[in-house]
Amino acid sequence: MSSVTSTSAAARAYWRSLDQLQQTPEFTEFLHREFPVAASEFPQGFSRRRWLQLMGASFALTGAAGCRWQSDTLASLPVRPANRVPGVPQTFATSWELGGYARPIVVTSYDGRPIKVEGNREHPDSLGATDALSQAMILHLYDPDRSTAILQQTEQPAVERSWDEFAAELEPVLAAVKASGGAGLRVLTETSSSPTRSRLQTRIASEFPQAKWVEHNAIPVRNAIAGAELAFGRALRPHLDLTAADIIVTFDDDFFGHHPAGVRLAREWADGRVPEAGPMKRLYAVESQFSLVGGVADHRLPMKSSDIPRFLDALEELVDKGLAGAPIEESHDDSYGLKFLATVAADLLAHRGKSVVSVGETQAPAVHARAYRLNSKLGNIGATLSFLPVPDPSPIAAELSTLVEELQAGKVELLLVLGGNPVYTAPAGIELAAAIRQAKWSVRLSNYVDETSLACQWHLPAAHPLECWGDGISESGRLTLQQPLIAPLFGGKSDIELLAWVLGDVDATSQSLVRQTATTLLPADRFDKEWRKLIHDGFWGKPAATLSPTLRADLNLPAATPAPTDLELVLTPSPSTYDGRFANNGWLQETPQPLSKLTWDNAALIAPATADELGLKTGSLAALHVAGQTVELPVYVLPGQAPGSIGVALGYGRTAAGHVGGLLSDGIAAVGVNVYGLRTGAETVLTKATLKGTGRQYPLSTTQDHHAIDTVGMTEIAGRIGELVREGSLGEYEAHPDFAQHKVHHPPLESLWKEPSSDGRAWGMSIDLSRCIGCNSCMVACQSENNVPVVGKEQIARGREMHWIRIDRYFKGDVNQPEIVTQPVACHHCENAPCEQVCPVAATVHSPEGLNDMAYNRCVGTRYCANNCPYKVRRFNFFDYNAKYEAANTELSRMLMNPEVTVRERGVMEKCTYCVQRIQNVKIGAKNEQRAVRDGEVVTACQQACPANAIVFGDLNDKSSRVAALHAGPRSYAMLAELNVQPRTKYLARIRNPHPWLATAAEVHGHEEAHG
Amino acid sequence: MNRFCFPGWIDRLLPWSAAIATALAVYVTGVVIVGAAPSTLDVGYKPEQPLPFSHALHAGKLKMDCRFCHNTVDRAAFAAVPTTATCGKCHSGADMSGVTATTSVHANSPKLLAVRESLATGNFIGWKKVHDLPDYAYFNHSAHVARGVSCVSCHGRIDQMDEVKQVKELSMAWCLECHRHPEPHLRPKELVTQLDWVAPESPEVLGAKLREALKIQPAENCSTCHR
Amino acid sequence: MSTITAPYDNTIETPGRRAPLVLGGHDYTSVTKVVCEIAETPQPPLAWFVAFGISSSMTLMFLGFAGYLVTTGIGVWGNNSPVFWAWDIVNFVFWVGIGHAGTLISAILFLFRQNWRTSINRAAEAMTVFAVVCAGLFPTLHVGRIWVIYWLLPLPNQNAIWPNFRSPLLWDVFAVSTYATVSTLFWYMGMIPDLATFRDRATNKFKQFVYGVLALGWTGSARQWYRFERAYLLLAALATPLVLSVHTIVSFDFATSQVPGWHTTIFPPYFVAGAVFSGFGMVLTLMVPGRELFGLKDLITPRHLENVCKVLLATGTMVGYAYAMEFFVAWYSGSRYEQFAFINRMFGPYWWAYWTMVTCNVISPQLFWFRKFRTSPWLMFTVSIFVNIGMWFERFVITVTSLHRDYLPSSWGHYAPTWVDICMFAGSFGLFFTLYLLFCRYLPVVAMAEVKGVMPRTVEH
């Protein structure tokens, strides 16, 4: 895989002869990494346009080019690195950091351009899958809005400086700071797991004892740890292991969301939800706002976050009773809450040591502590819930508030702001921007000239995670490496490089720093071997030993006080922009939020009941008032939201994000509304909120809107869902494993003409609805793999999104306690495809292997195929959505394009191809070796990304293939089979595992009803 | 009443005008068809290369195997254009210490300046692409070479060309022709780079055998070439 | 009371006596005079100028927006997913439908020896040709890449691919182009004797020459007449099946697909009936003002108008029957998707479109049971306007309401036209009327020769 090893003598000699390269820091990396000339030359003088022309020659960049009159030039490498074959992608195991933990990934590089992020199969925290954010982070590497230069902003307008000029200016300041033992030195950054960074931090602590180190996280990652401190007397972080957990009870905890272990937990969960594969887990969710976890829960109780502590108290009480020997009876109370409580308690008691109670970061430490106690009472600690040590706080650690005071007092000589975006994420009452201006010297290292950069005197371009070395600890405690795939496009530096600089280590490269740290972590005797292993695998060693601590003897937790009955506001990280750092990421902005299906906005999510009370509707603009602060934002009525609770996503309303996320200086309005100003600290649950309609409307763009639908439609939908997304209870499954195939009855299906037979390979896909958690990972992966354009909010509003795979979400049952079902839908590659028959120019035809080929360059755009597609998976280029890639200033973004996939022109139809480019490459390789394609050798992008392993692809004619087995299985059904389109994509019915006490009538006699 | 009427002789013109009209129509169509055909537009395309590299000399006279330079042709989609280092193997100039290797051929030839320059600066030589398919057509060299389709089938007698020019249409119909009836273009794998090779027996018969042996089923569906 | 002032009402059947088709005591000469002077008068009525000014500027608007569409993308229209076809196809079907009356009147009524057709067939045929022109524009402009639209034609090509002959859109190309050719031919051929008359009456060399060329040297000799009538008869026979085939095939665009609300076997007859209905509707819309404007009341008599009304009544009722049948079929199919498609038409978001359609197409023609409505031009004119509106909405209902909610509720959508949609639709009327007004001004609007053929001898001597 990685060629980051030694370098051939010839190459070295050859490079040594280049003096212009020798100075640049890239050079050393280059030397070791043997980058293609093109990539390394890119940032230096060498025009981008030219570069792309050249690259463009050797592979397909746009569907339009290529006619005789345009002459192409071939840029052959002067020296081709070992193991490099032009046009053959290479992959490198690396990682990036989010929320204080390393996220392991494998990145595909095409002729020196990283173009695709995938999971690291070997890494236990990835298992080959990724979340949507990891898939999308690569977009920032080629973001034309990235900061390209060092800016001295003391001048107005800001002037561009070179690194040398900056060094010259910094020297005296550093000297002064050193002299004072760092009295005036302050570092403002985010929590990180990087061993290298903590090594440098310790060095700073020792060399600058007077300095202060402030960590500010927009999304708190501390409550669980503080809770452990309460419960066990020492700071520990919880580590869930769902493999052993049969009963899972969550309180406001979306561990499938942005949780650092989300990918692993999703896999563990999904593996426990396949009825064929043994006993099924059961999940109870108590939450104020529909989360991914709530979406897959067997029983979900919508409850205000501020009421959850008391509910947990009650639960513990009941469990205590049970433990004392009193049996717990089924509650026949009318209140669903009490029924729920009794059931959960009973189920927990019945599964001691095989259950887990988990609480989310929205809840206070005390609540976490109580949950830990409950778990230990149930004997879950050590079995399903264990703990990992957290690094001791640095001696120079300080709070943001203190920093601000010191800044205002003018005590700060040199302020380094590394990463994060504190000015934007700072809570109300902290005038950080103003304060920073009080610092004598403020330096900002960032990928973008963002809100914080504008407040600092100096802005330095940061290197993207794919441009520099780094390291981190993944959730399970493994050392995970971050290695660059391309030299910094704009000569950016990484935070560790800057810290080393402050420590006087000016020439230290990120690589040397990381390697140095590694020497302390890897066995010295066979260091080189292990170092190579680390680079190859992307991680090293076993997980840190988990702890199962015992409760403090003197632990007593005050009973939770009843929360005020008025509206509460719950602030959550945005599924799309996280804390706002992805605001300029078009892919994520356009990825519909899993439950609301909202794009390009955040909104006040409220329950239908609350909406009626307040007389608000989806799309009405309301004034949200809390703790003296007011913002105006649109309302979105979301069934399943806890009545009385308002959910709003953080991470919107950026004013200096870029041309996608909002850039006031260029008159580009912010996307969504910034609600950081509503909180006074790090808390995410605020009580005593009010929401008043302003009488104005605000257009929201959703990719699926059920609530604009009249009663005629709603009744029909209710009738259809059961046939489209088939699901049943475990009981139902055990009674009739093939119940799904009997949900729809239709006459024998006969075709008008001879049906295409495929006796060679027959590609097919199986999607397990029992596994799918609706996390959108597949959508972003597909977008990245297949060059799917971003169309923008207005086009989405018109229903013109381009996603090749989408996740349909339907609500079921009582509008106040709905269940949801999610269903990924991409082209079904029907054997009897309606689209093929009606295309007048035969632009979409069947391949012998059963692919529904789409020849973009034959398409004239009558759109008839899309009309005739019952699954509505065909996407039409209503405008030239790729024009932005031709625009002169954005060739950079073109570098992201996957050369294996044609970029579609205006006026043509497009759709999922089953990643035909991957199929072809595997096939050709196999044929060259004169062997058959192995099962699992072709992996589609969506399948690759899926954390839950819900998607399986392969050859249906190979009876030993996984997909053939799944298609033959009892749960397998074809959506809309009654149309006789014979789809190659089939679904596996979703199985719920309800507790008999809470099961609905349908779940008990579902099958009979289906026969009706 | 004086009605306006065309003179009688107009009738005699009618057949003529008809004939002329037809002729004109035929002519115009003909011009369009011939003029727009790839055989007219593309065949014979011979761009000027940055340095006068002669395939006739290297591949023809010196009998160098195609794969000596285009060494990824049997492994990858692209038959890589050789790196300057490859040229340097024979044509390297003076190194840093000013010493020229005695094995070096034409070490100081002005024609090879571009090579030495590239070796020294690390900038590439910008070769002009001769056989240039549209970017939405994905051709894979290895898939063809590995099945015994010779270079000559698409590139002609490169070993006789001083400057490479396009000799085949490279149009879709032209591709399909072979995909539908590959036999005449097949030969033993190891002989693909022998451009002057002549089949000992009728290529049809031999091709049929090879096709049988290698189980070659050229596909004709869109996704074979368009992704 | 009726606004017509005629010697007597020729709408009354008097047994044993054939009602005259020309009133006002005209003889051959006067008929010629009446018709020819429309084109010969140096100064057409002011109304003509006004109408022409408006329609030609609307034509320009159409062309402007067409340019914008082609250079910018189909996105300038309201089309979206799932409503991939909207006004573009609605307008196409609407215009093709209108294009039906002409050939029906000229060919079928001719074969059935319906003499009353003579004084209206010429104008109706012209209407047909112009309507087909408008119809052709929309599908042409609606493709995403108009610059390669010739791929729909089966031409030999260097890609060695043919069009997909299974696709109804391809059948459309053949059907509509054939229909356009034959109708034009039919129209022109019928005009030859009259063009000759124009030529002979022409006062200046230029007109003489132009009409002369168009008249193909017609002298009116017995042999020419003999050949002419033979050829006309043959063409009529040839055109007759086309009248039925065109809209049948247009209906296949919908019927052969599997969109709920489209996928039904009654579409061909239903579409043809609808087309004749809308065609005759447009004939009325044009004739009633036309005969006023150009003083043709004696040639286009109340009897003619009444006959048209009767046809409207008949076809309107057929259309109503088809609407009812659609529902029966949907219910009888037992398919939940089919059933919902129709419930959704009546009570869904586009209920107003559906009920407009029913009111205009089924209810309003029933007024023609009353003689009053059949005999007073302005009343029937009003009804004919309703018919035009109704038939446009019929196509809207079929196209848009079926598409906007098909199988997967997740992909349900809503359609709203943009300004470009609206202006291009309006513009197509501009084009239609521009052509029609030019026709009135420069060509024989009534088939003089044929009218003379059906004039009662009694009027002479």
Q: What is the pLDDT of residues C63-73, one digit of tens each?
A: 999 999 999 99
Q: Which tokens is C222 given?
A: 């017995």
Beta bridge partners of C208: none
Cross-chain residue pair C158–B1, CB shorter than 8 Å: no
Cross-chain residue pair B85–A78, CB shorter than 8 Å: yes
Task: Inform me whether the C-beta atom of residue A17 falls under 8 Å from chain B C-beta atoms.
Answer: yes
DSSP A581-614: TTTT-HHHHHSPPTTT-EES---EEE-HHHHHHH
The total of other beta-carbon atoms located within 10 Å of residue C53's CB is 11
- Picking from C158, C208, C219, the nearest residue to B171 by CB comes out as C158
Could you tell me which chain A residue has the CA closest to the CA of B118? A78
- Picking from C159, C161, C212, the nearest residue to B4 by CB comes out as C212
Q: Which residues of B touch A61 (CB under 8 A)?
A: 135
Task: Inform me whether the C-beta atom of residue A798 falls under 8 Å from chain C C-beta atoms.
Answer: yes
Contact A209, A201 (CB under 8 A): no
Best CA proximity match to A305, nearest among A564, A586, A484: A564
Residue C35 pLDDT class (50, 70, 90 cuts): confident
Instruction: Note if the bond before C82 is cis, omega within 30 degrees.
Output: yes
Cross-chain residue pair B135–A78, CB shorter than 8 Å: no
- Picking from A76, A900, A920, the nearest residue to B82 by CB comes out as A76
Tell me the H-state helices in A129-194.
Answer: 132-136, 138-141, 163-179
Q: Which residues of C touch A743 (CB under 8 A)?
A: none
φ, ψ (nearest 5 deg) of residue C207: -60, -45
Neighboring chains of C (3 or more beta-carbon pairs < 8 A):
A, B
Q: Which residues of B touch C209 (CB under 8 A)?
A: 4
Q: Which residues of C touch B5 (CB under 8 A)?
A: 212, 217, 219
Best CA proximity match to A496, nearest among A430, A557, A428, A419: A419
Q: Which residues of B touch C202 (CB under 8 A)?
A: 4
pLDDT of res. C3: 38
Choose the mutation target among B128, B222, B224, B225 for the interface with A, i.e. most A CBs under 10 Å: B222
Best CA proximity match to A152, nearest among A546, A456, A435, A438: A456
Could you tell me which chain C residue has the CA closest to the CA of B14? C216
Q: Can you list the residues of chain A whose pLDDT is less than 70?
A: 1-70, 706-708, 756-758, 884-890, 1001-1012
Choose the mutation target among B170, B176, B223, B224 for the interface with A, i.e. most A CBs under 10 Å: B223
Choose the mutation target among B42, B214, B226 for the interface with A, i.e. most A CBs under 10 Å: B226
Q: In the structure, how many helices (H) and strands (E) does chain B have?
A: 10, 1
Cross-chain residue pair A810–C149, CB shorter than 8 Å: no
pLDDT of res. A653: 93
Q: Which residues contact A850 (CB under 8 A, 6 or more apart)?
A: A756, A758, A761, A762, A763, A764, A829, A831, A956, A984
Average pLDDT over residues C157-172: 91
Cross-chain residue pair B5–C219, CB shorter than 8 Å: yes
φ, ψ (nearest 5 deg) of residue A114: -65, 130
Q: Which residues of A touch B122 (CB under 8 A)?
A: 14-15, 18, 21, 37, 78-79
From residue A541, alpha-carbon distances to A518, B192, C83 in Å are 12, 49, 56
Q: Which residues of B touch A913 (CB under 8 A)?
A: 223, 227
Beta bridge partners of A823: A808
Count residue pairs from A and B with Cβ separation < 8 A: 161
Cross-chain residue pair C212–B1, CB shorter than 8 Å: no
φ, ψ (nearest 5 deg) of residue A458: -120, 135
Distance (Å, whole) CA A117 – CA A123: 14
pLDDT of res. B32: 85
Task: Inform me whether the C-beta atom of residue C159 falls under 8 Å from chain B C-beta atoms.
Answer: yes
pLDDT of res. A747: 85
- Picking from A88, A855, A924, the nearest residue to B222 by CB comes out as A855
Choose the mutation target among B1, B2, B4 for the interface with C, i.e. most C CBs under 10 Å: B4
Q: Which tokens is B124 given?
A: 């590439």
Choose the mutation target among C68, C71, C72, C84 for the interface with A, i.e. most A CBs under 10 Å: C84
pLDDT tens digits, residue range B77-92?
888 888 888 888 888 7
- Picking from B3, B171, B172, the nearest residue to C200 by CB comes out as B3
Distance (Å, whole) CA A421 – CA A400: 13
Q: Which residues of C touch A870 (CB under 8 A)?
A: 258, 406-408
Distance (Å, whole) CA A396 – CA A404: 16
- Cα dihedral value C240, C242, C247, C251, nearest 10: 120
Choose the mutation target among C155, C157, C158 for the interface with B, i.e. most B CBs under 10 Å: C158
What is the overall mean pLDDT for chain C?
Answer: 88
Which one has a higher pLDDT value, C441 or A709? C441
Contact A815, A614 (CB under 8 A): no
Q: Which residues of B touch C200 (CB under 8 A)?
A: 1, 3-4
Cross-chain residue pair B171–C199, CB shorter than 8 Å: no
Task: Inform me whether the C-beta atom of residue A851 falls under 8 Å from chain C C-beta atoms.
Answer: no
Best CA proximity match to C280, nearest among C315, C245, C236: C315
- Picking from C73, C163, C340, the nearest residue to A906 by CB comes out as C73
Sign of CA dihedral A320, A325, A331, A333: negative
Cross-chain residue pair A853–B222, CB shorter than 8 Å: yes
* Token pair 């107005």: residue: A156
Cross-chain residue pair A900–B129, CB shorter than 8 Å: no
Q: Which tokens is A868 given?
A: 């005739």
Distance (Å, whole) CA A288 – CA A605: 10
Task: Inform me whether the C-beta atom of residue C200 falls under 8 Å from chain B C-beta atoms.
Answer: yes
Instruction: Note if the bond before A157 is cis, omega within 30 degrees.
Output: yes
Exposure string of B103-133, with b = 16+ CB inside 10 Å and e = fewer, is: ebeebeeeebebbbebbbebbbbbbbbbbbb
Region of A398 please: left (phi>0), alpha (psi -120 to 50) or beta: beta
Best CA proximity match to C41, nearest among C184, C203, C193: C203
Q: How many CA atoms lie within 13 A of A1002 on its CB side?
A: 10
Q: Considering only residues 778 to 797 of chain A, which have any Cβ-Cβ distance to chain C shorter than 8 Å?
A: 795
From residue A955, alpha-carbon distances to A766, A851, A914, C277 in Å are 11, 11, 12, 55
Judge whether residue C57 has pLDDT over 50. yes
Q: Which residues of A touch B142 (CB under 8 A)?
A: 924, 928
Contact A778, A945 (CB under 8 A): yes
Q: Which residues of A touch C253 (CB under 8 A)?
A: 864
Distance (Å, whole) CA A223 – CA A237: 9
Please state whether beta strands A236-240 and A385-389 pair in parallel, antiparallel, or not at all (unpaired).
antiparallel
Q: What is the pTM of this model?
A: 0.89
Best CA proximity match to C250, nearest among C134, C89, C138: C89
Q: Which tokens is A89 given?
A: 């992608």
Q: Which residues of C touch B1 (CB under 8 A)?
A: 200
Distance (Å, whole) CA A562 – CA A583: 37
Cross-chain residue pair C79–A863, CB shorter than 8 Å: yes
Distance (Å, whole) CA A464 – CA A474: 19
Sign of CA dihedral A615, A617, A621, A623: positive
Residue B2 pLDDT class (50, 70, 90 cuts): low
Closest Cα of chain C to B35: distance in Å?
12
Q: Which residues of C touch B137 (CB under 8 A)?
A: none
- Cα dihedral value B151, B152, B155, B161, nearest 10: 120
Q: Considering only residues 61 to 80 of chain A, which have any Cβ-Cβ distance to chain C shorter than 8 Å?
A: none
Average pLDDT over residues C186-214: 89
pLDDT of res. B91: 84
Neighboring chains of A (3 or more beta-carbon pairs < 8 A):
B, C
Closest Cα of chain C to B29: distance in Å?
12
Q: Which residues contact A114 (CB under 8 A, 6 or more apart)?
A: A107, A108, A138, A141, A466, A485, A486
Q: How many CA atoms lie within 13 A of A391 on its CB side?
A: 19
